[in-house]
Amino acid sequence: MTPTTDRVTTRRSVLRHLRPGRRSALALAVSVVAATALPLLAPPITARFVDDAIAGAGTRHLVLIAFGYLALAVAGQAARMFTGWLASRLAWDGTNRLRETLAEHALGLDMAYHGRHTPGEMIERVDGDVVAVAEFVVAFLLDVVAGVLLLAGVIVIVFTVDPRIGGFLLVYCLLIGFGMARAQRLAVPSAARGRAAGAALFGDLEERLAGMEDIRANGAGEHAVHRLYQASSAWYRANLRSGWIGVGLLAGTWVAFAAGTAIALGLAAWAQRSGAITVGTAVLLFQYTLMVRAPFERLIDQLRQYQAALAGVTRIGGLLAERRTLPAPVGPRPLPDTGPLELSLDDVGFAYPDDGEQVLSHVTISLAPGETLGLVGRTGSGKTSIARLVLRLYDPTEGAVRIGGVDLRDADPVSVRRRICAVTQDVQIFAAGVRDNLTLFRPPPDDRLLRAVLMDVGLGDWLAALPDGLDTVLGGVSGSGVSAGEAQLLAFARAFLADPGLVVMDEASSRLDPATERRIEQSVDRLLADRTGVLIAHQLSSLSRVDKIAVIDGGRVVEYGRREDLVTDPGSRFARMLDMAGVSR
Ligand SMILES: Nc1ncnc2c1ncn2[C@@H]1O[C@H](COP(=O)(O)OP(=O)(O)OP(=O)(O)O)[C@@H](O)[C@H]1O
């Protein structure tokens, strides 16, 4: 496929989501035509009024025409309002469909993609871009389609009334259209520069405010303020320039329209004098000439929005075209349904997809069902990377990770998520009720079970103190606060509810109060009691509970064995590490 057809296909796939149903599209077409045609009928009524008034028609007759005009104006406005309402409803329906598809697609992409893109960027794509596109679709229907129809209608009608004035109007419209499009080209880059300067200023400001503590502590305030002056003056200059261009364009447009209207009026007066048309028809021509202005202004405005919407469509299309790098298994095999799971890493090598640098080499580890492994090693040695492979957030580049005898690449993803569970130190508390925070938005089991699990992990008193029990909203701006220790215990409660066969645990490295630490230790023991476990340990003391130890260094397993063998071997690295840390063997 060539890049052009590629682009066209991407755009089509995005716009397909915004396409309304057949009946809605028909209703929209009828209302757009009505909203355009009704105003076009108004000038002939005015012409009739003027001609009949000059011919001495009775007041009753003239009042009737005036009422007809009024009814038409009301109907025209109603049609426009209905079109606006219908177009925005349909656009919002389409937007929601597109947003849903995008969110689902983005959530299905693997960690390699999310590692490269920030949450802010995803939100901008799934929300900002989608809204910009939807708004453009509404504006396009109301301003571009209706505007072009109105212009075409005016020119055709004026042609039939007086071909000479019709010809003039056509040439005038073409010239104005061309001139405004050119002028727009001048205005858009300067407006874009203004926005970029504004974004740079606010970006600077956000960064400085976020780093206020460091700036103050290091006495860098003056420098930060100076940079702020520079950014604001760049913004001021860019805005001043785009402001002047905007004012110049506005003035130019006014003069061009005033000149056109004056010429049309002159031509109409001349035609009336020469007896070719009546006074009413001259008024009619004048009114039609005035009518071309508004659609022109809206059309030009949309030309600018079009570029932004097109860029949005391309970015959305880019996200939709993004594919998972973790291939779905051809014949998915479920992991054993119950009981602790066997785990083996066979000569595993791994490099993150974005930089290709080897972070794990020849890692071989095996755990019988119910055994626990402690991973130790310096920061950056590769412990988290091993955990990620076990959770199948990535696939190894060499070797295989097998769970319950099934290569994770062949395993059914649903059973992988159900049977393997992660308890990380970075616990995410959602701005939602306790129930949703425990079940991660899955349909909740019996409240009694939820309470029992919270009691078990030592959060019984915490639950009792919550104002609305399990309905209490946590996190967010208005929710109840959750301390670091409570968050850790909540993560254990989540794991108990999921009841996995293999647990991957990243031990909390931050210090907690002794009581909470004890509760967490108890939870770890209970969670590992009849499950296979991989524990990334930051404190050597917590390794007393594991069966096996793997010491990782530079992505390699430099020592591996049963814990009791390693601690009794004074020559082992692990024993030396315990001695150096002052931890009793
Ligand atoms: N998402 C990523 N993309 C690319 N490289 C990464 C990524 N995550 C980690 N790395 C690199 O992989 C190597 C191993 O990192 P890893 O996080 O597995 O170590 P760790 O032993 O868990 O460290 P820590 O104890 O600090 O958590 C490091 O060199 C790190 O820079």
CATH of the domain at 407: 3.40.50.300
* Cα–ligand 1 centroid distance for 431 (angstroms): 29
Say if 329 falls within a structural domain: no
For a substitution probing ligand 1, which of 111, 325, 358, 384 has the most ligand atoms within 8 Å of its CB?
384
**Tens digit of pLDDT per residue, the chain (585 long)?**
455 566 667 677 777 777 778 888 899 889 989 998 999 999 999 999 999 999 998 999 999 999 999 999 999 999 989 998 998 888 888 888 888 888 888 888 877 777 777 776 777 777 777 887 877 877 777 788 888 889 999 999 989 988 888 898 899 889 888 887 787 777 777 777 877 788 788 888 877 887 877 788 877 888 888 888 998 999 999 889 888 888 888 888 889 888 988 988 898 889 889 888 899 999 988 889 888 888 877 877 777 677 677 777 877 888 888 777 778 888 899 999 889 999 999 999 999 887 889 999 999 999 999 999 999 998 899 999 999 999 998 899 999 999 999 999 999 988 998 899 888 877 888 888 888 888 888 777 788 888 888 888 888 888 888 888 888 888 755 556 777 788 888 888 988 888 899 999 887 655 667 777 788 788 888 888 889 999 998 778 778 888 999 999 999 999 999 999 998 888 888 888 888 877 766
The H-assigned helical ranges of 391-483 are 413-419, 434-439, 447-456, 460-465
Phi, psi of 458 (to 5 degrees): 90, 20
For a substitution probing ligand 1, which of 381, 393, 509 has the most ligand atoms within 8 Å of its CB?
381
Ligand 1 nearest-atom number relative to CA 387: 18
Is residue 333 left, alpha or beta, with left meaning phi > 0 and alpha meaning psi from -120 to 50?
Answer: beta
Say if 240 falls within a structural domain: no
| Rounded-to-integer distance, Cα 145 and Cα 83, Å | 12
Ligand 1 nearest-atom number relative to CA 377: 21
* Cα–ligand 1 centroid distance for 110 (angstroms): 17
Residues 425 and 297 in one domain: no
Q: Whose CA is nearest to atom 4 of ligand 1?
A: 352
Total count of residues recorded for the chain: 585
* Cα–ligand 1 centroid distance for 425 (angstroms): 15
* Cα–ligand 1 centroid distance for 569 (angstroms): 30
Q: Is 278 in contact with 47 (CB distance < 8 Å)?
A: yes
Residues 287 and 400 in one domain: no
* Cα–ligand 1 centroid distance for 384 (angstroms): 6
For the record, the structure tokens of 572 come out as: 């082992």
* Cα–ligand 1 centroid distance for 360 (angstroms): 10
Q: 290: burial class by Cβ within 10 Å (0-12, 13-18, 19+)? A: middle
For a substitution probing ligand 1, which of 109, 110, 325, 359 has the most ligand atoms within 8 Å of its CB?
359
Q: Whose CA is nearest to atom 31 of ligand 1?
A: 380
| Rounded-to-integer distance, Cα 86 and Cα 124, Å | 26
* Cα–ligand 1 centroid distance for 386 (angstroms): 10
* Cα–ligand 1 centroid distance for 573 (angstroms): 22
* Cα–ligand 1 centroid distance for 122 (angstroms): 23
Residues 359 and 285 in one domain: no
Q: Is 574 in contact with 381 (CB distance < 8 Å)?
A: no
Write down the pLDDT at residue 531. Answer: 92
| Rounded-to-integer distance, Cα 535 and Cα 508, Å | 11
| Rounded-to-integer distance, Cα 295 and Cα 148, Å | 7
Q: Whose CA is nearest to atom 2 of ligand 1?
A: 352
Bridge partners of 406, per DSSP, are 403
Phi, psi of 330 (to 5 degrees): -70, -50
Residues 290 and 419 in one domain: no
Say if 246 falls within a structural domain: no
| Rounded-to-integer distance, Cα 144 and Cα 36, Å | 11
Residues 491 and 366 in one domain: yes
Ligand 1 nearest-atom number relative to CA 555: 14
Q: Whose CA is nearest to atom 16 of ligand 1?
A: 382
pTM of the predicted protein model: 0.64
Q: Whose CA is nearest to atom 25 of ligand 1?
A: 379
Ligand 1 pocket at CB < 6 A: 115, 352, 354-355, 359, 377, 379-385
Q: Which domain holds residue 543?
A: 343-429+482-581
Residues 410 and 534 in one domain: yes
| Rounded-to-integer distance, Cα 298 and Cα 302, Å | 6
* Cα–ligand 1 centroid distance for 383 (angstroms): 8
| Rounded-to-integer distance, Cα 281 and Cα 57, Å | 17
Q: Whose CA is nearest to atom 12 of ligand 1?
A: 359
3-state SS assignment for residue 368:
coil
Is residue 347 left, alpha or beta, with left meaning phi > 0 and alpha meaning psi from -120 to 50?
Answer: left
Write down the pLDDT at residue 459. Answer: 87
Say if 62 falls within a structural domain: yes
Say if 385 falls within a structural domain: yes
DSSP structural state of residue 72? H
Residues 389 and 284 in one domain: no
For a substitution probing ligand 1, which of 378, 383, 538 has the most ligand atoms within 8 Å of its CB?
383
Ligand 1 nearest-atom number relative to CA 538: 25
* Cα–ligand 1 centroid distance for 376 (angstroms): 14
Ligand 1 nearest-atom number relative to CA 381: 21
| Rounded-to-integer distance, Cα 417 and Cα 560, Å | 28
Specify the number of domains making up the chain: 2
Say if 412 falls within a structural domain: yes
Say if 205 falls within a structural domain: no
Residues 116 and 26 in one domain: yes
Residues 313 and 406 in one domain: no
Say if 410 falls within a structural domain: yes
* Cα–ligand 1 centroid distance for 128 (angstroms): 32
Residues 412 and 526 in one domain: yes
Ligand 1 nearest-atom number relative to CA 111: 1
* Cα–ligand 1 centroid distance for 359 (angstroms): 8
Residues 282 and 361 in one domain: no
CATH number of residue 118's parent domain? 1.20.1560.10
Residues 317 and 369 in one domain: no
* Cα–ligand 1 centroid distance for 538 (angstroms): 15
